[in-house]
Amino acid sequence: ISAPSYQCIVRPLMEKGSEAFALVAEDVLSAEQVDDLKLFIEDCPMPEVPPDVLTEEYFVSVETVQQPCNPVEALIAQLLQQPGIAATVGAVTGAEWSWHDYLDTDDPKVYHTDCNRRLVDCETVRTNPSWSSVFYLTDEGGPTVVWRGNEFVVVQPRRGRYFIFQ
């Protein structure tokens, strides 16, 4: 699977001083690539989790995505090659990914903070990513809302939209 070169538009949102805490990139992937992602996720098994890890996510290194094995790894490689995104997140060692499937009839997702939890000496240790993001595969569902201090950003789902935030 190759990660084709695809130009996207990146907009900074809610700048604090000279630093944006959220970005939206439009049309990161073609319609065919979005369909490939949806098909892959439909059959993707839950990740194998080490016994001391309490969250279920996949991790791929920057080196791994240079030779992507699936559409998600190809997406990660493509995102890291986008100048606006790369300049925002800086140097990374890799990316964690998971998926969430919501229907219009589902209750809204409750307020939460993206984090990983693992056990260390029988204590739960929580770490937060430097950046979190949402890649929208459909136009369906409610908005994603992110707060930082007394500012907030609201992003509506749109097929092919990529939302990244701190």
> Are the beta carbons of 119 and 79 closer than 8 angstroms?
no
Which CATH code for domain 9-102+111-165?
Answer: 2.60.120
At residue 3, the pLDDT reads: 39
At residue 67, the pLDDT reads: 92
Distances (CA, A) of 5 to 26, 30, 120: 14, 11, 42
- Closest to 134 measured CA to CA, from 165, 103, 109: 165
Let me know the angle formed at the C-alpha of 76 by 20 and 142, rounded to the nearest 5 degrees.
60
Check pLDDT > 60 for residue 52. Answer: yes
Q: Which amino acid is at 70?
A: N
- Closest to 68 measured CA to CA, from 6, 133, 3, 5: 3
Q: Stretch 109-120: mean pLDDT, rounded?
A: 70
Residue 40 has φ and ψ, to the nearest 5°, of -60, -45
For the chain, the average pLDDT equals 77
Cα–Cα distance between 108 and 39 in angstroms, integer? 24
- Closest to 148 measured CA to CA, from 165, 135, 131: 165
Residue 86: CA atoms inside 13 Å, Cβ hemisphere, count? 10
First to last CA, the chain: 30
**Tokens 């890799």 label which residue?**
94
Domain boundaries, the chain: 9-102+111-165
Check pLDDT > 50 for residue 161. Answer: yes
* Whole-structure pTM value: 0.75
Q: Residue 124 corresponds to which tokens in the numbers above?
A: 């739960």
Cα–Cα distance between 9 and 27 in angstroms, integer? 7
More confident residue, 33 or 122: 33
* Tens-digit pLDDT profile for residues 117-151: 777 788 887 777 778 888 888 888 888 888 877 78
Let me know the angle formed at the C-alpha of 76 by 69 and 55, rounded to the nearest 5 degrees.
90
Q: Stretch 100-118: mean pLDDT, rounded?
A: 67
Check pLDDT > 50 for residue 64. Answer: yes
